[in-house]
Chain A
Amino acid sequence: MTLSLSKPSVRPEPRFQIRRRTWPLDHVHGLMPLGDAAERGRTLGPGGARIAWLDTETTGLAGGTGTYVFLIGVATVDDGEFVLTQYFMSHLAHEADMLETISEDLRRYDALVTFNGTRFDLPLLQTRFLLSRLRPAFDLDAHLDVMTLARRLWYRRLGGYSMGLLEQLVLGVERFIDVPGWQIPSLYVQYLHTGDLDALEPVFAHNASDLLSLLALHGLAGDMLSRPDRIRVVVDWSGLARLLEVRQQIDAAVRCYQTALGDEHETAARARTVTALGRIYRRRGLVRDLLDLWEGELTMPVLPRWLVLERLAMIWEWQFRNPTRALAVTDDALANLNGGDPRPRERLLHRRERLLRRLGALAEIASL
């Protein structure tokens, strides 16, 4: 359905266009019905009763004042339906009118959800509003960028987190006819030149698919974080654990970190995960678990032996207050040092000296 805005206008051509499309909430996109996705996503935020999902199509990807937003898709759940409203700038002269209308419409919502909105869509829109001498219609704080979640959940497993990759490998969504993102700017310029809207139909469809997938991802992420024990898709457990930890779901985070350690063989990632898990143990006073965790690493051939021993020395020194044992482990760590970086050696020697001083002081007290 295409309708031009019925404002009285001296110009014969439409000032800009608004298209509306709806889907029933039981329509399945990705792994669950749209209604469920909206529900599960809500647990993640952003705060506020009424959420709008937003995605833009632009005349360039570099940003800056000369990049126009020519299509803005805003999706909402309204009256038991998933409603997509697409604002299309059919004429460059009427950008301000379009932005004003969007601004008016967005006022009915409390928060926005985007995919890469923090870095792309929202600053760009802000620029457009400023250039049209309008006040931006949204509050950057009431915003969730699903891309930041996607990065943690999937980057290490998939080697990327673009919408296309996630649709393919996580959501299992296939786009039969799609226009590649890089072609979109030139299609719009083509339209400006010819006035032939048909050429832009794939772009409208692309924008709609992006918004459906955005909702699906939002829902999936919400689902994963609220029920981490029932995850059926590929996931970076450590990244998930980190997200849970940030959300104070500590028990779930511990379980996910533990799962992550089950098959993590990359040194830096394993070190991060062990450290993160250890930090939780330490904060909870689970010193035995902390010791077991790091001692367990001695039997795994992933982390450098000196590093594990250094951590163990720290545990013996501070958690168990056992300088004798800490000194022995420190010496062991020193004996296991390799590599050219002088800093670990300095750290260890420093620790060794401190421990020796403390032991000396203890001996003195004992001799009194």
Chain B
Amino acid sequence: MTLAQVLEQLRRNPSRSSRIAAWREVPARVAHFAPFPDAVHSRLAESLRRRGIGSLYTHQAEAYTAVASGGHIVVVTPTASGKTLCYNLPVLDRILKEPEARALYLFPTKALSADQVDELQQLVTALAADIKTFTYDGDTPQSARRAIRTAGHIVVTNPDMLHTAILPHHTKWLRLFENLRYVVIDELHQYRGVFGSHVANVIRRLQRICRFYGSDPQFICTSATIGNPKDHAERLTGRSVTPIDRSGAPAGAKVIAFINPPIVNRELGIRRDTLLEVRELASEFIRNRIPTITFARSRLAAELLTTYLKDLAHQHGVDAEAIRGYRAGYLPSERRAIERGLRDGSVNAVAATNALELGIDIGQLSAAILAGYPGTIASTWQQMGRAGRTEELSAAFLVATSSPVDQYLMQHPEYFFGHSPEQALSNADNLLILASHLKCAAFELPLEHDEVFGEAIPVDLMRHLESQRVVHDDGTRWHYVAEQFPAEDVSLRSASTENVIIIDVTEPKPEVIGEVDLASAPGRVHEDAIYLHLAQQYHVERLEWEERKAYVKRVDVDYYTTAEIAVGLTVLNEDQSAAGLLPAGPLPRAHGGVVVSYRPTIFKKLKLYTQENIGWGKINLPETTIHTTAAWWILADVIARSVATWPSPHERLQGALAALSHALLNIAPLFLMCDPNDLGRVYEIRSPHTGAPTIYLYERAPGGTGLAERMFRIHAELMTAAEELVRTCGCDWGCPSCVGPILEVGNTGKSDCLTLLRSAIRHDTLPVEAIGSS
């Protein structure tokens, strides 16, 4: 059968078609070509023609022209639209014309850079020009580094290496910095949240060093589709950036479908296992040898799916060797072999994790099946983009899990299809992050008193660093005088570098198996906790808090543990610029700086599957605090209207606030392009700060990364979506997918939460249900 026939069958089979929550057909798109701009070096145009590239797609020509006129650009076009040529073309062109010119390519991951260097290398080889491209990362041998520093025309690296190895030793990179014409930032959308805030500061430092050497590079960025590519690129580079977002690349027609597995336990709102559903869906694709990729959210799930798909192959008499797994942890050579196999067709189906999500070239497949929502609209489009042919039909499926966000999407496919993807948020001026990078910047070059770093002159922070004797003021400049090498203490991938490492002592030879950040350590690796790592259970034998070490042993038990952590929140300051925006409506809100304290109290042992409480223990750990930002909602008015009629107001209010904060916490990541774990919640029946019932959503990253302010601004969307999430959830009294389990919110939690939300959004058309009917 062809793909079209398989799809037709899927729609006609009643038991299968009932699970289709959405079905969209995206029409084919024809190619739009543009000739090579006249300015392109004739050798380059000639060599591209020899490689079968006779003309450019319109967006490639547009990118070249914008760069040639001196601008900074961000290219936002779909997967496989020839994005890399958008930067390789202007860069190679410049080097051909000016052999001294240099370019720096930044990729977020190593695998990706290896792939792009291959492609770039092929172009250079075809050019037969003396253009040296080098990868500079942790694997680069010492012996090769000197040559790269002086002779490399194009240096390919990642932000972490730029941060720890290149910038602090910039004098060794004299040739690069003196002649740096272009900085290419691929996969720009990856630089968001804490990581993005760090990278923005690394770019600020890069620009300072370039100024010192008299260069002023242009930025060429590429990004997957996000809601704010221009804004995000400008925030990251500090430059005015032109977006190039009209793709000229062709695409075949495509079907995009949402599949919601049937409910198996109505009370708990549990649906059929996602992986089994994927298995069933994939069956016909495997049988008909339709090139297929499945994406799982964890390594374990990817392994399971590999097994499932291989079983299917056996069942259908198809070669099981053409089915492969792909995830982090495979050897690079294995990965390369699988990628090659996918390109040349010898591998027919692959079960991957998001390790394959990035722009690694695997050619184009016919079908993509996502086992669970990847967490953002942007990465969903990216994974779905793995299926897509330039001419033929392709199909992409999102198979839902029972999680709240997945279920919301199944109920509201228009959210996905109609909504522009999330905005990538970052906050380069997060005080902690900024202070870290000012140290690094001062290490690289003394900082002038009147020097602008990012948005402002950081006098206060520098005075603070001075008081800590990190820098010394010579009257006009601050000099770094601490002994430590500052970049090593700053990890770009998290705001706080403090963590607790987890050491497996099952075997005589202890092995570090992971780490948890300091803030979540008390709740996850307290003594006697069951810690899950790659689906293996570990019992925490000992937690050495001062040494930041947890010692664990492998176990196989039928319970898990959950810690009760008393979370306290104190408001430090309310953002005044937000005060003017405060609505006079029923739900006043604010955002600002807060201190969050965690005090672990007890932990419970809950039986797997039944959640039966089979024991508990005390946690003896000190309280930890973080400074961060939060958004909060003051519920005085909306509650006043109903609470008087409640039989036991206090308890019921407690349940209602728990339910509402849970619903908001469930829905917010969808709008913020963040991980659910990036946010936490606190509710208070009578907040010392507002004097009224208040719900806080705070950022777990110390210092905050802009999420709180964003929640404050998109308040209306948030409330509407939360109301829809709760209203359309299939459960009766509350479940983890909407307002939280009934044990936490009580019998009335779900309905009270709905009442509060409706009152808050003043949704006139909705009938207000009577309260207290239960």
Q: Which residues of chain A have a CB within 8 Å of any CB of chain B?
A: 59-66, 68, 91-93, 126-127, 130-131, 185-186, 188-189, 192-193
- Would you give 21 A-B contacts (Cβ < 8 Å), ordered by A? A61-B483, A62-B483, A63-B169, A65-B168, A65-B444, A65-B445, A66-B444, A66-B480, A66-B485, A66-B486, A68-B481, A91-B474, A92-B446, A92-B477, A93-B474, A127-B171, A131-B445, A186-B483, A188-B481, A193-B469, A193-B472
Please give, as numbers and ranges, the residues of chain A lying within 8 Å of B695 by CB-CB distance.
none
B107: CB under 8 A from chain A? no
Q: How far is the CA of A107 from the CA of B446 in the complex (A)?
A: 28
Flag if A189 contacts B469 (CB, 8 Å).
Answer: yes
Q: How far is the CA of A34 from the CA of B537 in the complex (A)?
A: 69
Flag if B481 contacts A59 (CB, 8 Å).
Answer: yes
Please give, as numbers and ranges, the residues of chain B lying within 8 Å of A91 by CB-CB distance.
474
Flag if B469 contacts A64 (CB, 8 Å).
Answer: no
Please give, as numbers and ranges, the residues of chain B lying within 8 Å of A59 by CB-CB distance.
481, 483
Flag if B443 contacts A64 (CB, 8 Å).
Answer: yes
Flag if B479 contacts A64 (CB, 8 Å).
Answer: no
B117: CB under 8 A from chain A? no
Known contacts A59-B481, A130-B174; is-contact A192 B168 (Cβ 8 Å): no
B476: CB under 8 A from chain A? yes
Q: How far is the CB of A347 from chain B (nearest CB, A)?
A: 28
Residue from A65, A131, A192 within 8 A of B481 (CB atoms): A192
Q: How far is the CA of A93 from the CA of B478 in the complex (A)?
A: 10
Please give, as numbers and ranges, the residues of chain A lying within 8 Å of B477 by CB-CB distance.
92-93
Residue from B171, B442, B476 within 8 A of A131 (CB atoms): B171
B484: CB under 8 A from chain A? yes
The chain A residue with its CB closest to the CB of B164 is A64
B475: CB under 8 A from chain A? yes
B170: CB under 8 A from chain A? yes
Q: How far is the CA of A66 from the CA of B439 in the complex (A)?
A: 10
Residue from A65, A188, A189, A192 within 8 A of B171 (CB atoms): A65
The chain B residue with its CB closest to the CB of A131 is B171
Please give, as numbers and ranges, the residues of chain A lying within 8 Å of B474 by CB-CB distance.
91-93
Known contacts A92-B474, A189-B469, A189-B472; is-contact A60 B170 (Cβ 8 Å): no
Flag if A66 contacts B469 (CB, 8 Å).
Answer: no
Known contacts A92-B479, A131-B445; is-contact A64 B472 (Cβ 8 Å): no
Please give, as numbers and ranges, the residues of chain B lying within 8 Å of A131 by CB-CB distance.
171, 445
Question: What are the interface flags for B451-495 relative to A under an 8 Å C-beta threshold, 1 for contact and 0 otherwise?
Answer: 000000000000000000100101111011111111000000000
Flag if A93 contacts B476 (CB, 8 Å).
Answer: yes
Question: What are the interface flags for B166-184 relative to A under an 8 Å C-beta threshold, 1 for contact and 0 otherwise?
Answer: 0011110010000000000
Flag if B171 contacts A66 (CB, 8 Å).
Answer: no
Question: What are the interface flags for B552-584 relative to A under an 8 Å C-beta threshold, 1 for contact and 0 otherwise?
Answer: 000000000000000000000000000000000
Q: How far is the CB of B449 from chain A (nearest CB, A)?
A: 12
Q: Which residues of chain B have a CB within 8 Å of any CB of chain A?
A: 168-171, 174, 442-446, 469, 472, 474-477, 479-486
Q: How far is the CA of A131 from the CA of B173 in the complex (A)?
A: 12
Flag if A66 contacts B475 (CB, 8 Å).
Answer: no
The chain A residue with its CB closest to the CB of B470 is A189
Q: How far is the CB of A359 from chain B (nearest CB, A)?
A: 44
Q: How far is the CB of A202 from chain B (nearest CB, A)?
A: 18
Q: How far is the CA of A193 from the CA of B484 in the complex (A)?
A: 18
Q: How far is the CB of A7 from chain B (nearest CB, A)?
A: 18
Please give, as numbers and ranges, the residues of chain A lying within 8 Å of B174 by CB-CB distance.
130
Flag if A192 contacts B472 (CB, 8 Å).
Answer: yes
* Interface-centre pick from B169, B170, B474, B481 (highest chain A CB count, 10 A): B481
Flag if B171 contacts A126 (CB, 8 Å).
Answer: yes
Q: How far is the CA of A93 from the CA of B477 in the complex (A)?
A: 8
Please give, as numbers and ranges, the residues of chain A lying within 8 Å of B170 by CB-CB distance.
65
Known contacts A59-B483, A130-B174, A185-B483; is-contact A66 B442 (Cβ 8 Å): yes
In the complex, besides A66-B168, A66-B486, A68-B481, 12 extra interface pairs with C-beta distance below 8 angstroms are A59-B481, A60-B483, A62-B485, A63-B169, A64-B168, A65-B443, A65-B445, A66-B485, A91-B474, A92-B446, A130-B174, A189-B469
Please give, as numbers and ranges, the residues of chain B lying within 8 Å of A185 by CB-CB distance.
483
Please give, as numbers and ranges, the residues of chain B lying within 8 Å of A92 by CB-CB distance.
446, 472, 474, 477, 479, 481
Flag if B483 contacts A64 (CB, 8 Å).
Answer: no
Flag if A68 contacts B443 (CB, 8 Å).
Answer: no
Q: How far is the CA of A59 from the CA of B485 in the complex (A)?
A: 11
Flag if B445 contacts A189 (CB, 8 Å).
Answer: no
Known contacts A59-B481, A193-B469; is-contact A64 B476 (Cβ 8 Å): no
The chain B residue with its CB closest to the CB of A92 is B474
Flag if A65 contacts B476 (CB, 8 Å).
Answer: no
Please give, as numbers and ranges, the residues of chain A lying within 8 Å of B486 by CB-CB distance.
66
The chain B residue with its CB closest to the CB of A61 is B483
Please give, as numbers and ranges, the residues of chain A lying within 8 Å of B168 by CB-CB distance.
64-66
Q: How far is the CA of A20 from the CA of B480 in the complex (A)?
A: 29
Known contacts A66-B168, A130-B174; is-contact A189 B481 (Cβ 8 Å): yes
Flag if B479 contacts A68 (CB, 8 Å).
Answer: yes
Residue from A65, A93, A186, A192 within 8 A of B169 (CB atoms): A65
Q: How far is the CA of A66 from the CA of B483 in the complex (A)?
A: 9
Residue from A64, A186, A188, A192 within 8 A of B485 (CB atoms): A64
Q: How far is the CA of A63 from the CA of B443 in the complex (A)?
A: 11
Q: How far is the CB of B506 from chain A (nearest CB, A)?
A: 29
Q: How far is the CB of B85 from chain A (nearest CB, A)?
A: 36
Q: How far is the CB of B467 from chain A (nearest CB, A)?
A: 11
Please give, as numbers and ranges, the residues of chain B lying within 8 Å of A66 by CB-CB distance.
168, 442-444, 480, 485-486
Q: How far is the CA of A193 from the CA of B169 in the complex (A)?
A: 27
Q: How far is the CA of A93 from the CA of B171 in the complex (A)?
A: 19
Please give, as numbers and ranges, the residues of chain B lying within 8 Å of A188 by CB-CB distance.
481
Please give, as numbers and ranges, the residues of chain B lying within 8 Å of A61 by CB-CB distance.
483
Q: How far is the CA of A60 from the CA of B485 in the complex (A)?
A: 8
Please give, as numbers and ranges, the residues of chain A lying within 8 Å of B472 by CB-CB distance.
92, 189, 192-193
Q: How far is the CB of B23 from chain A (nearest CB, A)?
A: 58
Q: How far is the CA of A68 from the CA of B480 in the complex (A)?
A: 9
* Interface-centre pick from A59, A66, A130, A188 (highest chain B CB count, 10 A): A66
